[in-house]
Structure 1
């Protein structure tokens, strides 16, 4: 008796075996029993892939499974002469179905060694494994992309920061922007992020009690992961600038952000517009030049448009700050 098996004293093994077959069949297993000469004695619950010809006087591996599978089973069973020998082969049918054939030699008290083959459908299990491998490859791909973006941001931030403190302040804010966009991308199983949600996530930290000061209209487009990260970064730069110069909170005049589908050179594209009005105390030629010097952002004018294969225009006048980003809609990264 197997060391992990218990049965009541005096209970017949043969009687208990009668209960095992229905249990195995209920679990979805197919069962084949053969004698020592590999003659078929019993077959039950075969997958529909291999229909049984019930009019046949005799069955064998070749007639049931075809030449290729029969050859593999024959090689597996060839050395199974003594009880306890076992082995298995995995068979793929078409592109989706996978079956495992588990064969073992069992000695019965009165009739000698028999071969018991159990066939288990592994299709769903193998499908999950393929999905997991694809997921891990996608995680690696996304991680490398994100690290490349962070490296680029770090270099650009360092290049235009006059001190370590200023660098750390800007860099931390940009990392926060990426993390906010990445959360949306992850929640969507890496399909990307919707424009409205992206703007909301990037602005709500800086306007916790004044969310009405950023009004989003237009097409709520699902952006690709790459576009989500970089458009989110642009919105982060713009809202930080808006809060920093103070005109937004003093005047209470809302910023208007729009997203519009359009055709550019025959390609489906998106236009993002940021329209931020300036208050009277911010206006004037001297103040305008000061804002240009302080907020002329390499991230907005170079990094973001280059990363989404688009074009950007960032302008500051006496009346308003505008940012226009146009880029092609991509199917994926």
Structure 2
């Protein structure tokens, strides 16, 4: 006996064997017992795809068909001595997977027999496929995110006159990405809703004046890619509004809208940022707003990333930003 088993004195293996089969069947296992000549002696609990009702004399071929029987035959040829075992997996279609586990068992009467258990691995393999797909998706998105960070670092350095200014701007932009990524992660990688994205990107800079940014229109679920880049655009716009504009001085509300529209005959989204300026904004301030990385993000990086078109305009009395992009590229 196996050192980790216990059996009451006087009980035979034959008596206990009567309990083993029901226990295995209850666990969902199918069981086949064959003699040394591979003649079927016992078969029970086969999966529904292998019907046994109309089979007069069970065999590997009559039960499983020629292809599966050939694979089982090859496996069983190497299992001849008591204690030897082997297994194969059989895929039926694209969804069902069954594991055949074969072992040679020595009986006191009748010599070596083959015991085959069949276990449904379909759900397990399905989870493994989903996990592999998820890991590939995470790897793909991580590479995209790293590429965005690299681009931000290079462009921020190009428009920063000092290390201190670079660090200040770069940290802000990284924080913007991380906030958008949190929304994406919370939605199981589906993306971020536009209203929540605006709120998240602006409330940090207006902790006591959240009412100064009013969002309206269609609360569309943006794709992960659009969420990251639109989040970055919103970050640049709110930073400009707080740093260079007259938002806090005038208390005038910034209107942000998301509207379903058309672009070249296809469904599209139109994002509009409308900020009314205080009359005290000077011409040099207007130039400062345009001559830095923020305008590059708004006019080039973001529209290119979502296959759209953008218009960024600064005048004496307002700042407006309009982005239109195909719905399939950025939302649903």
State whether structure 2 residue 185 is matched by structure 1 residue 155: no
Where structure 2 has 5 or more consecutive residues not aligned to the other structure, the ranges are none
- CA offset at residue 246 of structure 1? 5.6
Number of residue pairs matched by the alignment:
331
Q: 1:307: which partner in 2?
A: 305
What is aligned with 2:53?
A: 53
What is aligned with 1:31? 31
CA distance in 1, matches of 2:131, 2:32: 33
User: Which residue does the alignment assign to 1:171?
Assistant: 170
Per-residue CA deviations over 1:274-313 (Å, capped at 9, x if unaligned) read 011122333x545545554578622212221222222211
Separation (CA, whole Å) in 2 of partners of 1:221 and 1:155: 31
TM-score using structure 2 length: 0.94
Q: Secondary structure at the match of 1:81?
A: coil
Within-5 A mapping of 1:155-234 = 155-234=154-233
C-alpha separation between the residues in 2 aligned to 1:233 and 1:132?
A: 30
Structure 1 position 320 matched with structure 2 position 318:
yes
Give CA deviations for 1:53-78 in whole Å, capped at 9, x if unaligned: 3561x211010000001111111112
Q: Does 1:71 align with 2:75?
A: no
The alpha-carbon distance between structure 1 residues 322 and 254, as it changes in their structure 2 partners (threshold 3 A), is same
Equivalent residue number for residue 141 of structure 2: 142
CA distance in 2, matches of 1:206, 1:82: 76
Aligned equivalent of 1:85: 84
Q: CA deviation at 1:164?
A: 0.8
C-alpha change, 1:245 and 1:75, in structure 2 (3 Å) is same
Report if aligned partners of 2:259, 2:271 keep a CA contact under 8 Å in 1.
yes
Q: Are the equivalent residues in 2 in contact too, given 1:241–1:295 (CA < 8 A)?
A: no
SS in 2 for 1:47: coil
Change (3 A) 1:287 1:130: closer
Mapped partners of 1:140, 1:193: distance in 2? 20
Partner of 1:260: 259
Query: What does residue 5 of structure 2 align with?
Result: 5
Equivalent pair of 1:255/1:275 in contact (CA under 8 Å): yes
Q: Deviations over 1:190-213 (max 9, x none)?
A: 221111111111111111222111
More deviation in 158-167 or 244-253?
A: 244-253
Query: For the structure 1 residues 331 and 319, does the alpha-carbon distance in structure 2 shift closer, same or farther, using more than 3 Å as the test?
Result: closer
- 1:15 partnered with 2:25: no
Tell me, in whole angstroms, the C-alpha distance in 2 between the residues paired with 1:40 and 1:294.
Answer: 81
Q: TM-score, normalised by structure 1?
A: 0.94
CA distance in 2 between counterparts of 1:23 and 1:13 reads 15
Render the CA deviation track for 1:2-52: whole Å, top value 9, x for unaligned: 233222333322222211111111111000011111111111000001000
Q: Which moved more, 1:272-281 or 1:210-219?
A: 272-281
Report the Cα offset of residue 81 of structure 1.
Answer: 2.1
Task: Extract unaligned runs of 5+ from structure 1.
Answer: none
CA contact (8 A) 2:245 2:277 kept: no
Aligned to 2:277: 278
